């Protein structure tokens, strides 16, 4: 790759930018928001041809917003921590007047009529939106290969997937094409791509963050959350998007405070971490096993207590999820009828009735995985099968919840791998849907139970800047409901000891 010294310097500075360091640099006038935003667009235009993280860019809007931030800086206004921070937004989250395709051909021409609750909160913080990122269609998938538009490559190895479904957001942050990003997580769609790309991903507590303006996949599971370079950044971005929204009835008032990003060591030492047997099965990838072992040693050096626990129904979480999720999908995606949003171009026939439009728009506009899940969901909800599948899965969901309730009587946080393997090769799992589903086996339970969980890159597995063929591996911390502070605190101290040891 040919790079001038000038753009190398820019790259270097983009590489080191976190929300925190951006804010410090901005308020101390080391750089302007406009300068950094322009540098990001330059870098995106050079690099995204190889990665494919973005579906659309918001260059005009972003540059104007950056100018407004610079005026505020010049007038010495007090700026929120996210002011001017260039963010990437998953393309199933609406930003008014910008495309929102959810990775589906069926929404190729749809322009959002309003901004999502999280976007309104970020706008009031003066954050900047660089563009919309790629995803598996309607967030269904674990590799971003199900996007209706193009695939996304893992920045650490272009032959491998970035994970999914928030693969575009994770790849954008990992390839320094955004300071941070938003994703959505229904069964691991923030944490698994974060793990594959070597960045931090936080799935928030069910009810902590508004889903108003998130194109719904499965309403009892979906949550929006941050994808960032550091745990501290995840805490700050989470704080900015959390809280009640009258347009999402499931979103509750929260009182998250400074403990999110300014944790105390004594408090972290008072926590007990549980290691569930079921998440370390025989045959777990050796590299993953070894890497997690290192994390445990590191955390023990902080004098945190560990305890072995059991979550006996873990193996039932995957079939349980793949009944409940398609059921909700079949209902939620009914709204995409070719009547109210956009309609795909009809090349074949002159449609006469509403029914013709529905059949054709959905048949042509949806990809294979989307159709597979809609039909599966229609099946498990249909008369004669409801009790055997849907009702049964809801009961099993209760058993899984009970497992976690019991575990949280003994421990405060649970540590597990994020995924059974590191990033797999593009094309490797496309032909066998169930093997693709298995990549979410460790992330799904937190969604079924509504718990917060964070994926943090394991330092020893991060690729060196000179390459070397290593692939990132993440570890997962699961916390009690609304106790993001616990998992983020442990994560921040993990990062501190790793920073001091390197």
Partner 1 sequence: MPSPINKKILKYLADLARLELSPREEERLLKDLQGILGHFEELQRLDTTEVAPMTGGTSLKNVFREDEERKNKYAGAGVEAFPEKEGGFLKTPPVFGNDDQ
Residues 476-495 binding partner 1 (CB under 8 A) are 481
Per-residue burial over 347-373, b if 16 or more Cβ lie within 10 Å, else e, is eeeebeeeeebbebbbebbbbebbeeb
220 binds partner 1 (CB under 8 A): yes
Residues 242-271 that bind partner 1 (CB under 8 A): 246, 250, 252
8 binds partner 1 (CB under 8 A): no
First to last CA, the chain: 28
Single out the residue of 117, 243, 450, 479 in contact with partner 1 (rule: CB under 8 A).
450
Give dist(CA 407, CA 310) in Å, integer: 7
* Nearest residue (CB) to partner 1, 46 versus 356: 356
- Asked if 301 is an active-site residue, the reply is no
* Nearest residue (CB) to partner 1, 292 versus 374: 374
For residue 253, count CB atoms less than 10 angstroms from its CB and return exposed for 0-12, middle for 13-18, buried for 19 or more. Answer: exposed
Span from 31-39, 174-182, 225-233, 347-355 in contact with partner 1 (CB under 8 A): 347-355
Give dist(CA 276, CA 310) in Å, integer: 5
Span from 60-68, 134-142, 280-288, 364-372 in contact with partner 1 (CB under 8 A): 364-372
- Asked if 165 is an active-site residue, the reply is yes
Catalytic pick among 10, 32, 90, 184? 90
Q: Which residues contact 403 (CB under 8 A, 6 or more apart)?
A: 310, 311, 312, 313, 314
13 binds partner 1 (CB under 8 A): no
Site string for partner 1, 178-217 (x = CB under 8 A): ----------------------------xx----------
Single out the residue of 149, 394, 421, 462 in contact with partner 1 (rule: CB under 8 A).
394
Span from 175-183, 383-391, 453-461, 491-499 in contact with partner 1 (CB under 8 A): 383-391
Residues 91-110 that bind partner 1 (CB under 8 A): 110
316 binds partner 1 (CB under 8 A): yes
Give dist(CA 107, CA 344) in Å, integer: 8
Give dist(CA 183, CA 224) in Å, integer: 6
Closest alpha carbon to 104 in 123, 64, 132, 125: 132
How long a stretch of residues is the chain? 502
* Nearest residue (CB) to partner 1, 166 versus 204: 204
- Asked if 189 is an active-site residue, the reply is yes
* Nearest residue (CB) to partner 1, 293 versus 363: 363
Strand 86-90 relative to strand 128-133: parallel, antiparallel, unpaired? Answer: parallel
**Catalytic residue set:** 90, 165, 189
């Amino acid at each position: 790759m040919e790079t001038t010294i000038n753009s190398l310097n820019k790259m270097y500075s983009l590489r080191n930018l976190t929300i925190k360091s951006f804010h410090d640099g901005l308020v101390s006038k080391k750089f302007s928001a406009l300068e950094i935003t322009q540098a990001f667009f330059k870098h995106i235009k050079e690099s995204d041809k190889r990665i494919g993280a973005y579906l659309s860019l918001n260059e005009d809007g972003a540059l104007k917003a950056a100018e407004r931030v610079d005026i505020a800086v010049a007038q010495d206004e007090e700026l929120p921590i996210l002011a001017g921070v260039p963010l990437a937004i998953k393309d199933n989250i609406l930003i008014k007047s910008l495309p929102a395709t959810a990775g589906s051909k069926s929404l190729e021409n749809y322009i959002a009529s309003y901004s999502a609750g999280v976007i309104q909160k970020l706008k009031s913080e003066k954050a900047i939106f660089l563009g919309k990122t790629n995803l598996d269609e309607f967030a269904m998938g674990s590799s971003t290969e199900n996007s209706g538009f193009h695939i996304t490559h893992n920045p650490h190895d272009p032959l491998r997937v970035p994970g999914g479904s928030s693969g575009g957001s994770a790849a954008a942050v990992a390839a320094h094409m955004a300071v941070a990003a938003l994703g959505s997580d229904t069964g691991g769609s923030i944490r698994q791509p974060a793990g594959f790309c070597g960045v931090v991903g936080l799935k928030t507590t069910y009810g902590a963050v508004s889903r108003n303006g998130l194109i719904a996949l499965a309403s009892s599971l979906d949550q929006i959350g941050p994808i960032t370079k550091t745990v501290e950044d995840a805490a700050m971005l989470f704080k900015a998007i959390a809280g009640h929204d009258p347009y999402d009835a499931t979103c509750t008032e929260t009182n998250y405070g400074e403990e999110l990003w300014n944790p105390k060591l004594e408090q972290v030492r008072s926590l007990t971490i549980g290691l569930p047997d079921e998440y370390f099965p025989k045959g777990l990838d050796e590299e993953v096993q070894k890497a997690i072992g290192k994390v445990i040693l590191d955390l023990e050096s902080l004098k945190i207590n560990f305890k072995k626990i059991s979550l006996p129904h873990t193996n039932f979480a995957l079939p349980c999820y793949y009944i409940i999720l398609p059921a909700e999908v079949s209902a939620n995606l009914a709204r995409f009828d070719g009547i109210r949003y956009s309609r795909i171009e009809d090349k074949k026939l002159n449609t006469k009735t509403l029914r013709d439009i529905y059949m054709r728009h959905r048949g042509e506009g949806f990809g294979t995985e989307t159709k597979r899940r809609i039909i599966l969901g229609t099946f498990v909800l249909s008369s004669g099968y409801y009790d055997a599948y849907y009702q049964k899965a809801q009961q099993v969901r209760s058993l899984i919840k009970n497992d976690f309730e019991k575990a949280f009587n003994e421990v405060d946080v649970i540590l597990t791998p994020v995924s059974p393997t590191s990033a797999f090769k593009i094309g490797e799992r496309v032909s066998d849907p169930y093997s693709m589903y298995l990549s979410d086996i460790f992330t799904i339970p937190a969604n079924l139970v509504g718990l917060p969980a964070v994926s943090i890159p394991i330092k020893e597995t991060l690729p060196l800047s000179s390459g070397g063929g290593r692939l990132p591996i993440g570890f997962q911390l699961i916390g009690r409901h609304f106790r993001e502070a616990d998992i983020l605190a442990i994560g921040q101290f993990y990062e501190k000891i790793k920073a001091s040891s390197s």
